Amino acid sequence: MTLTRKFKRLWHQALPWLKVAALIGLIAYALDKGDGPPRYDVAGQARLIDGDSLFVDGLEIRLKNIDAPEGRQNCQRGRKNWRCGQEATKRLRRFIKRRKISCKGDHYDKHNRLLAFCTVGGVELNKWMIIEGWAVAFGGYRAEERAAKRARKGIWSSQFQRPRTWRAQQRRQ
């Protein structure tokens, strides 16, 4: 019997066992709950994209449970347009300054951004953006949003489309 034939015979005998081992590994991986969903922690200097998205340590992060105006989005005060999206980004940049930012997330969105809660100097940025009126609540922070709206803070001092609505309208155009 040639070496090639011996190898093929051994391979065919081992193949079912390899498939079983791989299946067991996949099942064990799927059943392993650990301590909940995996955590992704990142820290460093932030580079802002807009009022709810940034890069930290080369990773794109989306601030969870908030939705800030897009960079190109305008709002209206009376009959005047103002660049509320740029202003939201500018306010967040001023607050962060050059301080170290820490973010904790547990999953990625469909755009491959880590959905995370981020802090600077012990202050949670997600919540801060809502309290200061530079973002709307999106899955959390409803009481903070109501308070910012009552106080007419940030974008609540004007008329605006919710960022989600604005993005949808831009896609249709």
**CA distances (Å), 116 to each of 13, 25, 27, 40, 67, in order?**
48, 30, 29, 9, 13
Closest by CA position to 84, among listed 139, 150, 159: 159
DSSP 107-170: EE-TTSPEEEEEEETTEEHHHHHHHTTSSEESSS-HHHHHHHHHTT-GGGGSB---HHHHHHHH
Mean pLDDT for the stretch of residues 29-39: 55
Task: State the chain's mean pLDDT as an integer.
Answer: 87
Contact call for residues 11 and 3 (beta carbons, < 8 A): no
pLDDT at 104: 96
Q: What is the pLDDT of residues 75-116, one digit of tens each?
A: 999 889 999 999 999 999 999 999 999 999 989 999 999 999
Contacts of 88 (CB under 8 A, 6+ apart): 50, 51, 68, 69, 129, 134, 135, 154, 155
Q: How far apart are CA 129 and CA 62, in angstroms?
A: 13
Q: How far apart are CA 135 and CA 129, in angstroms?
A: 6
Position 1 pLDDT exceeds 90: no
Domains of the chain: 40-172 (2.40.50.90)
| Residue type at position 131 | I
Q: What is the pLDDT of residues 43-82, one digit of tens each?
A: 999 999 999 999 999 999 999 999 999 999 999 998 899 9
Q: What is the pLDDT of residues 126-152, one digit of tens each?
A: 999 999 999 999 988 999 999 999 999
pLDDT at 20: 57
pLDDT confidence tier of residue 38, bands split at 50, 70 and 90 = low
Q: How far apart are CA 102 and CA 109, in angstroms?
A: 19
